[in-house]
Structure 1
C-alpha cells in the first residue's frame, strides 16, 4: 500500500495550521515577507531551469514521430506528426499546448483473462487534464483583478463568462449564488480531486506515485477549497484584501503596514499559494515551461533531407577505403578480391607485354 499520500496530506495540514496560528501574531510575515520570498524563489528557479534546458546540447533531430516523414514525392507524409517545416512544428506545438494532443492519443494496455491484450484510450485522463489546466488558467486570470486598478475590460469579460451560472440560494449562514458562482473554481476543485483519486485507485499508477506527486495535488486542493470557502461561506473583507494585494504589487507593503479586517483563512490561502510558487520550479509542475524546450516537439523531422553532424565531434584521423586499397591492392588482387583500381604493371611486366605484342 502506497502511503505517500498520507505524508503529503499531513504536510498540507501542518502548513494550514502554521499559517492560521502565525497570522494571529505575525500577519506581516504571512502577508508580506513570505509572498515576496516565494515570488523571488519562483522567478529565480524558473529562470535557472529554463537556462539549464536551453544549454543542453541537442545536435540531432530526435523528434518523436507518429507518422510518415517527408521523403519521396510519391509517399504521403504526415505534416503535423512529422513536420518538415517550421510551420508544421508550430502547428504541432500549438495542438500540444492547447489540446494536449499526445495525451489524447495515449492508450492503456490491459491483459484480459483470455490472455489477450486490450488497448483503450485514456479519454477520462485527457478530459480531467484539460479541465484542470483551463480552470486553473481561468482562476489565475480572474485573480488579476486584485492586482490591477482599474480592472481591464478583458478580465471583467472573463468574469462574466465564467459566472454565467447563477444559483440564488440565501440562508442566514450560507449565501450561495450571491455573489455569482464562478464555474472555474468548482471545476478546478473537481478536476484536482479526480487526478488524486486516479493516482490512489489505479494500482499501477499508485505503485509509481511518490510524495512529490501527491503534495502539489493536495496543495492545489487546499488553494481551491479555501478560495471557495472565502467566497461563498466565510466572507472575506475584499476591500482589505485588495488593499494588501495592491500594496504588494506597488511595493508599498515594504512598510509592513497590514490592512485591518483580513481573516486568518485568507492567510492560509495566501500561504498555500506562496508554497506552491516556491515549490513550482523544483517539481514536475515545470513541464509547463519544459514543453516549449522539448526537442521531441520543437524540432523539424528533416533527417532525410538534411544531414545533422555532431558539431563538437573531435577531429579524427580516418583511414578511408581508398587509402586502404592503396595499401593492400596487390594482396587483394592476389587473393582474387575486387578492387576499384587495378595495380600499375611493373617495368618487367610492361616489357613482357610489349614483346608478346
Structure 2
C-alpha cells in the first residue's frame, strides 16, 4: 500500500519539479500525446486479444431459475436464455452494477447463541455497490464537464450537465457535487481495502496504485478549483492548442496543473494494462454476454480443430502381425496364419 502511495507522490514531485525547471513542454505536450497513443493502442490490443480468445465452454454466470418447464417461472435477467435477455442483463450490469448489488459478504460468528458455537453468516454488501455506483457516475459527469476545456463554443449539453452538477451552489466558485462525491467514494474504497483484514491480505500493489492515482487526480483537481487556483482561460487556450495539434506556451500556468495533467496521463497509460480495463472487458466476458441455452443449442468448442481419426480396422491393419504374435483377438487373421 505505502509503496503505491510513494510512487504516486514521486510522480507528482517529478511533474512539479519538471514544470518548475522549464520542462513544461515535456510534461504538457509530449507526455499527453504519448499517453493518448498508448491508451488507444493498448485498448485496441487488449480488445483484439479478448475478441480472438476462444470460448471452449458455455459458461454464463447464472443468478436465478433457468428456462425449464412452462409452469416454472424463469429469471429472465439473471439467467437469460435469449439474445434479448442478454441485452437486458448487460444493460443492468453496465448501468446499474446488478451483479455487485446482489453481492453478499460472509463472516464467522464465533459465539452464536443459537448454535452454541461458531456460525457462518451471509449478509448483503450494499455499501460497496452504492459507493461504486457513486464513484463511476461522478467520474462520468466530471469527464463530460471537462469537455468545456476542449471546445469553443461549449455545446449546450455540456453546459446543462455543468449546471445540474452545480445546481446546489455552495460558495464561490460554484461547488460541483460530483467532485466531492468522487473523493468520498474513493476514500471509502481505500478504507475498505485497508481495514478489512481479509481483503487486505489478498491485496497487491496493483490494487492500491489505481486508488492512490485516482485520489491524486481528484485531490489535485479540487485544489486547482477551490484553493491554489489557476487561470481557467489560459488553461483552456493551452488545452485547445493540444487538441488542434498546435501547442501554445504553457508559461504562467500553475505548477499544480502539471501535477494534475501528469497523473491523468499516467492513468491513461496504465489503464489498458490494468484491472481498470474491466470497463470494456465486461462486453467480452462470456460469463455475461452468453445466453444460458446449452440445453437447446449445442456449443461448439473452437479449440477443437479437425482431427485425423484412426479407426479400429485401420489400427488392426497396421499392427495385425504384432497383435497375433501377442495372442490378442483379431477380427481378421494375418495372411500367413490363414494359409
For the aligned pair, the TM-score class normalised by the smaller chain equals: 0.7 to 0.9
1:6 aligns with 2:2: yes
Deviations 1:97-122 (A, max 9, x none): 11111111111111111311111111
Following the alignment from structure 1 to structure 2, what is the Cα–Cα distance between the partners of residues 19 and 79? Answer: 51
Task: Answer yes or no: is the 8 Å Cα contact 2:139–2:178 preserved in 1.
Answer: yes
How far residue 31 of structure 1 moved from its aligned partner, in angstroms, is 0.6
For structure 1, the residue ranges without an aligned partner over 5 or more in a row are: 168-176, 321-357
* Structure 1 partner of 2:257: 266
TM-score (norm 1): 0.82
Following the alignment from structure 1 to structure 2, what is the Cα–Cα distance between the partners of residues 206 and 127? Answer: 21
Question: What secondary structure sits across from 1:76 in the alignment?
Answer: coil
* Structure 2 partner of 1:163: 166
1:109 aligns with 2:106: yes
Q: Aligned-residue CA RMSD in angstroms?
A: 1.5
* Structure 2 partner of 1:203: 197
1:62 aligns with 2:59: yes
* Structure 1 partner of 2:153: 150
How far residue 260 of structure 1 moved from its aligned partner, in angstroms, is 3.1
TM-score (norm 2): 0.87
Larger Rg: 1
Following the alignment from structure 2 to structure 1, what is the Cα–Cα distance between the partners of residues 184 and 236? Answer: 27
How far residue 160 of structure 1 moved from its aligned partner, in angstroms, is 0.6
How far residue 64 of structure 1 moved from its aligned partner, in angstroms, is 1.0
Following the alignment from structure 1 to structure 2, what is the Cα–Cα distance between the partners of residues 84 and 62? Answer: 12
How far residue 44 of structure 1 moved from its aligned partner, in angstroms, is 0.5
* Structure 2 partner of 1:136: 139
For structure 2, the residue ranges without an aligned partner over 5 or more in a row are: 112-117, 313-339
> Number of residues paired by the alignment?
304
* Structure 2 partner of 1:17: 13
Following the alignment from structure 1 to structure 2, what is the Cα–Cα distance between the partners of residues 17 and 103? Answer: 37
Question: What secondary structure sits across from 1:120 in the alignment?
Answer: strand
Match for residue 280 of structure 1 among 265, 271, 274: 271
